[in-house]
Amino acid sequence: MEWMPLVCVDTLVVRGGFALLTRRRQEPQAGSLWLQGGRMRKGETLESAALRTAEQECGLRLTLSVPLGTFSTVFDASAHGGATTHTVNTTFLAHARSDDDPRIDTAHEDFIWWSLRRATGNAYLDQVFKLARTHLKIGES
C-alpha cells in the first residue's frame, strides 16, 4: 500500500493569537516545528481523531473549533523507512482550555507558542496560519 496516501488529521492549537508548534523527533519532518496530529483510525470521525491526536501529543485539554481545510503534503522521508510519505490532512482549529504549559509526548522534543502573525517559512503551516487569522479575525502585521 506504499502507493496510497495516508489519511491524517492536524490540529492548530491556539491561545491568544499564538499557535502551539512542537518539534518532531521522528520522520517525516524530524527536527521541524509542526502542528499536532497524526493518522486517523478506522471508525473514528475526523473530529474525534483531531482531538485524540492533539491532546495526546500536547497534553492539553482542547475545544475543537472549525476545520480550516484539507491539504495534501508530500515528504522526502517516512517514519517507517520508506522513501517518501504522502498524506491527506484535514486540519482543524482548536483552542487550549487553560494557560497550562503543554506536556508534550515522547515523539516531540520541545514546543513553542508561535505568533499567528509570523511566517514560519513552511508553505503548509503559513497557509494554515492565514486561514486561522481570517477565522479568528486577527490582522496581519
For 78-111, the pLDDT digits (tens) are 555 667 778 899 999 999 998 999 999 999 999 9
Tally Cβ neighbours within 10 Å of residue 3. 5
pLDDT at 86: 86
CA distance 134 to 130: 6
Q: pLDDT confidence of 141, banded at 50, 70, 90?
A: low
pTM: 0.90
All structural domains of the chain: 6-136 (3.90.79.10)
Q: What is the pLDDT of residue 87?
A: 87
pLDDT one-digit tens code per residue, 43-75: 999 999 999 999 999 999 999 999 999 999 887
Q: Which residue has the cell 520522520?
A: 27
